[in-house]
Amino acid sequence: NSKVIQTPRYLVKGQGQKAKMRCIPEKGHPVVFWYQQNKNNEFKFLINFQNQEVLQQIDMTEKRFSAECPSNSPCSLEIQSSEAGDSALYLCASSLSWGDSYEQYFGPGTRLTVL
């Protein structure tokens, strides 16, 4: 199945702390997506990249999150100042290309708990 690697699997932070998680996409997949799944199982798209360039991101991501996919390094998603409402499962996915015709492969997720 999927070979997307996410670390750490679990992350616990206090409010106001930075929270950083990493993702290594499947080999040969230049497109990377980040999603947030809340405790009600609702998924929210956060941001995606093609190689090192941001394709799309939502407003929340622009303001409080920083993300990057540097060349030859894992992609990362960092919350600058964690809030209780950020507690969620953060899922990284990768695909061969961008658009409707390309299957996304998901990693196991990083479960963030903000105390």
Partner 1 sequence: GDQVEQSPSALSLHEGTGSALRCNFTTTMRAVQWFQQNSRGSLINLFYLASGTKENGRLKSTFNSKESYSTLHIRDAQLEDSGTYFCAPYGNEKITFGAGTKLTIKP
Concatenating the DSSP letter of every residue in 49-97 gives EETTEEEEE-HHHHHHEEEE--TTS-EEEEESS--GGG-EEEEEEEESS
Whether the bond into 8 is cis, omega within 30 of 0:
yes
How many residues touch partner 1 under the rule CB under 8 A: the total is 20
**φ, ψ for residue 95 (rounded to 5)?**
-150, 165
CB-nearer residue toward partner 1: 74 or 108: 108
d(CA 84, CA 101): 36
Q: Which positions from 40 through 59 interact with partner 1, judged by CB under 8 A?
A: 41-43, 45
CB-nearer residue toward partner 1: 25 or 109: 109
Among 5, 54, 89, 96, binds partner 1 (CB under 8 A): 89
CB-nearer residue toward partner 1: 65 or 90: 90
Residues that bind partner 1 (CB under 8 A): 1-2, 37, 41-43, 45, 89, 91, 98-101, 103-106, 108-109, 111
